Structure 1
Amino acid sequence: MNCRGEFFSEAVMGDVKGKFHLVDVDASGRERLFFDNAGGSFRLKDAVAAFAAMDTIPDNPERIHASALHLQDVIATGESDVRTILNASGGSIFTALTASEAMFDMVRAVMENSVGDNAVTTILEHPSSFDSVKMYCERTGRELRIARSNPETGGVDVDEIVGLVDSKTVLLSVMYASNISGAKFDLSTIVNRARAKNPHLYIVVDAVQHAPHGVIDLKETPVDGINFAPYKFFGCRGSGIAWLSPRVAALTHHRLLAKPQESWQLGTPTPGQFAVVSKIVDYVAWLGSQYSGKQDRRELFLEGMHRIELHERALLVALLDGHGTHRGLRAMPGVDVFWDHDDFERRDLIVGVGFARLEAAQAVREYEKRGVVVYERVATSVYSGRMLKSFGIEGAVRLSPLHCHAPGDIERFLGITEELAAL
């Protein structure tokens, strides 16, 4: 893979932008750059339309008439497309109101129904992962082992994680990529080495940050549970989606007792959320078809994600090293780039920066005055504090563009950042 990425052609770039809502303007029609996609991504027009269409239908899917059967088909297709995204076979799929809720459910089932005296997680986990493991360690009287971060890379080293796993570890909970630094975890190596030490270990993965940026393949990384959030993956708010291995699905969990043991779906699922997943896969497969003549849905999806990853890597390089007549963040006086290194294949499209004369929140306000939306990660935040303190910093401005952005968007952003650095 091209280590510095490859931009979409102008034609493909134009088509991509046209498939999403509000890429270049806000809801009021004002021009802006939205660089906070890690908090909720641009919405696919087709996904929003599909959800709205499904939501007009009053019929209960658990009936036998024609409209209900149609809704059942929508759900079944959506479940199949969840498996397309993850390359998963077998196991169970369930939805919750949020990916955080799904994570708590998975962790609870493992921790309440397994033998062992410790659980392992990392200091960089989202609160839903970290707090659920901590809570159930306390409830079940187990030791909580926390892998430390690497302030240079913004991630957690493989040895740091695997070194905490032993024969009595019940659960390893680890993220696919950091939503603060963008650092990708070497998940395949982590899974293989952890299972070599403890073949009975349960492994649960938070893929919410990474899912819209790169390939997930459960055949290569056989974990026991994984979640993602459609609203951060070009879809709509209102659901978190999880896949469970057969052995996790069979654990005691909240369920309707008349349903099969492996069923985790409580109540009637929302067909619209499954329609959204199918539209996400439709879109990524369409993108793949611009570069490949293959017909298999998973192969087209893989090609599409590959092209997203290449374009986003080129955007990352442009942010850091400059583009056109604009110098990059690395070269700007008064700007610090955190967790910076040149192994771009180990980075999703997130950059953390600091300003010599502006605190993070001040910088965010100055960006907004100039039509740019970014996010302040500060040590006082429940979603940021633990992670930032592990890096030894008080705050950072998080930049999270998406593949919908063009090189010209990066140039505009760099010009505005020069203005802020001079304040």
Structure 2
Amino acid sequence: MKVVKLTNETLFSNELLAEIREKFAFIDVDPLKQKKRLFFDNAGGSFKLKSANKKFTQFDMIPDHPQRDHEAARYLSEIEQKGIDDTRIIFNAKKGSIATYLTASKAIFEITGVIAENIEGTNIVTTELEHPSAFDAAKLYANKLEKEFRVAKTNPVTGGVDVEEITKLIDNETCLLSVIYASNISGAILDIETIVKEARKIKPDLYIIVDAVQHAPHGIIDIEKTPVDAMNFAPYKFFGVRGCGIAYLSERAANLPHHRLFGKADGDLQLGSPIPGHFASISEIVEYVCWIGSEFSDAHDKRSLYVEGMTRIALHERSLLEIMLNGTNKIRGLRNISGVTVHLDYKDLSKRDFIVAISIEGLGYKEAVSQYGNENVIVYDRVATSIYSKRMLESFGMTGSIRVSPLHCNSVEEIEEFLEITQKIVERNATVFRS
């Protein structure tokens, strides 16, 4: 059995991890039962920063309108602008526009429609791996506008989509490429930088949309390196609050005829009164990541600290992922527990967000999730009967999986506890299965 060598170079120190965990709500407690639990469904819900929710409430309580000319209003306007500036830090977007929507799904649907309806071309390209909000938006407008709908196939070995599978579908008549940054089923991270580069070799002015909802909380996104026309993320999956979706749009994408007020500047896509609380919560996310970065770097530039923080988050998560797969000197990993299958397992963990898809011999996916729940462990069943899973699972030749998705605020001890519980469930059901 392979044993992971634990080093402070990749894992957060115990002291830093304790500080990190203190910043999150309900880190190891069921919010209703007030009992200890392991919450490993961060690809669906997500742990929330206490400060992000506190700031949202603090500023949402203020009655003043940010677009008035008195002290409290000006203060709220400054909070909004800081949030926009901090959102640019996340994207590394020096130009272009930042826009808010009701949800990240709403953002990608609306942006897809605007590009598809206003950019010439006879086909739209996407992949089998997309979230329904991106896939269905692309398909809807392809059908509506009578454009050919081209879908790149997944790779069942990597759990992702190969660059060549995407680029071979692109030609001079491609109106739009819509592609996911990372899968919330396999955890596979797509090579967006290469996809953008190779796609634009075929059509230099190609419009590209990237769904970064899954990847943003786990890794670095960089518009300067991946100059796409739109990218989204969901603050609630990024340690923040619910009720808002965020998108970056390039200058040319922002200048297309979106729903907008004519009296505003071309790049201003905000509709309705601003909600400073949402922007304040995004600033708290950025401050938090930069704080982690400052524990490892003397840099003063905010983007540099943010990149360092996200790098350390990714390294810690990758170490936990390796422990979950290979175990420690105390417990076997998922790869070595007889009766457990790790689906879409890939050796290069640098190409993975912290998601593991498993199944347990003789146990249905929903029943397995229920048995984990009885052990106070929250995981999720991805099954082909769900519109959120069917297409992606079937592309891999799967009917379902148990999705396990921890976060960087989890500890080695929690991963070991999960493995112990998994072993317990396997052994209990093996006895029933044999009988």
SS in 1 for 2:124: strand
Q: In the alignment, what sits opposite 1:106?
A: 111
Q: In the alignment, what sits opposite 2:432?
A: none
Matches within 5 A, 1:241-280: 241-280=246-285
Q: 1:326 aligns with which of 324, 331, 337?
A: 331
TM-score of the superposed pair, with normalisation by structure 2: 0.96
Q: 1:24 aligns with which of 9, 19, 28?
A: 28
CA contact (8 A) 1:95 1:269 kept: no
Q: In the alignment, what sits opposite 2:147?
A: 142
Matches within 5 A, 1:86-101: 86-101=91-106
> CA offset at residue 406 of structure 1?
0.4
Q: In the alignment, what sits opposite 1:15?
A: 19
SS in 1 for 2:182: coil
Q: In the alignment, what sits opposite 2:307?
A: 302
Whole-Å separation in 2 of the counterparts to 1:338 and 1:130:
23
Could you give the per-residue CA deviations for residues 228-272 of structure 1, whole angstroms, max 9, x where no partner exists?
000000001010000100000000111122222322111112111
CA contact (8 A) 1:227 1:241 kept: yes
> CA offset at residue 26 of structure 1?
1.3
Residues 1:154 and 2:159 aligned together: yes
Q: In the alignment, what sits opposite 2:371?
A: 366
Whole-Å separation in 2 of the counterparts to 1:291 and 1:332:
36
Q: In the alignment, what sits opposite 1:385?
A: 390
Q: 1:218 aligns with which of 218, 223, 231?
A: 223
Letter in 2 for 1:7: L
Letter in 2 for 1:41: S
Whole-Å separation in 2 of the counterparts to 1:135 and 1:269:
30
Letter in 2 for 1:395: G
SS in 1 for 2:121: coil
SS in 2 for 1:421: helix
Q: In the alignment, what sits opposite 1:72?
A: 77
Whole-Å separation in 2 of the counterparts to 1:309 and 1:159:
26
Whole-Å separation in 2 of the counterparts to 1:201 and 1:91:
17
Q: 2:87 aligns with which of 58, 76, 82?
A: 82
> CA offset at residue 3 of structure 1?
12
Q: In the alignment, what sits opposite 2:192?
A: 187
CA contact (8 A) 1:116 1:170 kept: yes
CA contact (8 A) 1:98 1:239 kept: yes
Q: In the alignment, what sits opposite 2:433?
A: none
Whole-Å separation in 1 of the counterparts to 2:94 and 2:206:
20
Whole-Å separation in 1 of the counterparts to 2:296 and 2:343:
34
Residues 1:208 and 2:210 aligned together: no
Could you give the per-residue CA deviations for residues 50-79 of structure 1, whole angstroms, max 9, x where no partner exists?
001011111111111111101110110000
Q: 1:353 aligns with which of 343, 358, 377?
A: 358
Return 66-75 or 255-264, whichever deviates more.
255-264
SS in 1 for 2:150: strand
Residues 1:6 and 2:7 aligned together: no
Whole-Å separation in 1 of the counterparts to 2:346 and 2:37:
29
SS in 1 for 2:264: coil
Whole-Å separation in 1 of the counterparts to 2:145 and 2:157:
35
RMSD: 1.2
SS in 1 for 2:107: helix
Aligned residues: 422
Letter in 2 for 1:21: A
SS in 1 for 2:98: strand
> CA offset at residue 153 of structure 1?
1.2
Whole-Å separation in 2 of the counterparts to 1:270 and 1:389:
41
CA contact (8 A) 1:315 1:410 kept: yes
CA contact (8 A) 1:145 1:164 kept: yes
Whole-Å separation in 1 of the counterparts to 2:10 and 2:367:
34
Could you give the per-residue CA deviations for residues 302-353 of structure 1, whole angstroms, max 9, x where no partner exists?
1100100000000000000002410000001110001111101101100000
> CA offset at residue 420 of structure 1?
1.4
Residues 1:60 and 2:65 aligned together: yes
Whole-Å separation in 2 of the counterparts to 1:375 and 1:225:
29
Same amino acid, percent of matched pairs: 52
SS in 1 for 2:160: coil
Could you give the per-residue CA deviations for residues 114-150 of structure 1, whole angstroms, max 9, x where no partner exists?
1110010000100000000000001111000000011
TM-score of the superposed pair, with normalisation by structure 1: 0.98
Return 262-271 or 312-321, whichever deviates more.
262-271
Structure 2 segments unaligned to the other structure (5+ residues): 430-435
Q: In the alignment, what sits opposite 1:405?
A: 410
Could you give the per-residue CA deviations for residues 86-134 of structure 1, whole angstroms, max 9, x where no partner exists?
1111111110110000001110110010111001000010000000000
Structure 1 segments unaligned to the other structure (5+ residues): none
Q: In the alignment, what sits opposite 1:421?
A: 426
SS in 2 for 1:146: strand
